[in-house]
Amino acid sequence: MGTPAPLQSRVRFRSFTLDRSTSELRRSGIRVKLHGQPIAILKMLLDHPGQIISRESLRHVLWAENTFVEFDHGLNSNINRLRSALGDCAGAPRFIETVPGLGYRFIAPISSDVCATAERELPRLIVLPFTCMAGAFGNFAEAITAQIIVALAEMPRGISIVSSASWPNRHTARLVHTNYVLAGAIFRDPLVSRICVQLIRTSDSCCIWGGNYVHCDANLFSTLNQIAMDVSAQVLRSTA
């Protein structure tokens, strides 16, 4: 194992931030319910990004020398809990890679020394539940909304995403001190469908940008990722 990275109070990777001092993990500012040994594993992996951490090294971190446990089962369980919290998958990892016979490696890019002030200054965006129009069904709209939120949260440059069906319209966004609202409508057709989006500035309720995206089911996810990239660029441009 190589020399550990310098310890910073906060470490960011994709849409996640780990606060070392409190052992709190957050995704887009929302606390993830994870504590104990999975957090200890995450800390050790983040201390050595890109390096293989052996199972034996993790054992020494998680359990004292005189502790008798079923080590393999306990470690596997904790790794699975951590992956589940990160939305990661052993078969196609984005964060934690299993190196057969050796251990685990953290593979996502990280940035350190993320201060609380900087996080508070990120532009805040509410994603309202998208509206169903002309052949679109409610569950489909919910799935589209959820995927847009995930895609926005994983943009490399920071936007704090506030997403909840409990904010029914753009006027309530002011109550949670947000800067922007993203609203959308979905038009379904057997052959070609369309998604319309509007980006609204909450300070004056002005629509500062809008877009129409035509897609078929085969390229739906690439279309949603494109929407997220365009929205992120417009928000960052507007707050620059």
Q: Provide CATH code, domain 122-239.
A: 3.40.50.10070
Alpha carbon distance 204, 170 (integer Å): 11
Tens digit of pLDDT for each residue in 22-63?
A: 888 988 778 888 888 899 999 999 988 889 999 888 888 887
pLDDT value of position 74: 84
Domains of the chain, residue spans: 10-112, 122-239
Most confident of 67-76, 111-120, 125-134, 154-163: 125-134
If you compute the radius of gyration of the chain from its CA atoms, what whole number of angstroms results? 21
Looking at domain 10-112, its CATH class is mainly alpha
- Band the pLDDT of 121: cuts 50, 70, 90: low
229: tokens are 């990239």
- Band the pLDDT of 1: cuts 50, 70, 90: low
171: DSSP letter: G
Burial of 191 (0-12, 13-18, 19+ CB in 10 A): exposed
Higher pLDDT, 207 or 7: 207
pLDDT value of position 175: 47
Lowest average pLDDT, out of 25-34, 174-183, 203-212, goes to 174-183
Q: Can you tell me the mean pLDDT for 11-31?
A: 85
Q: What mean pLDDT, rounded, does the chain reach? A: 80
Tens digit of pLDDT for each residue in 127-144?
A: 988 888 765 565 778 888
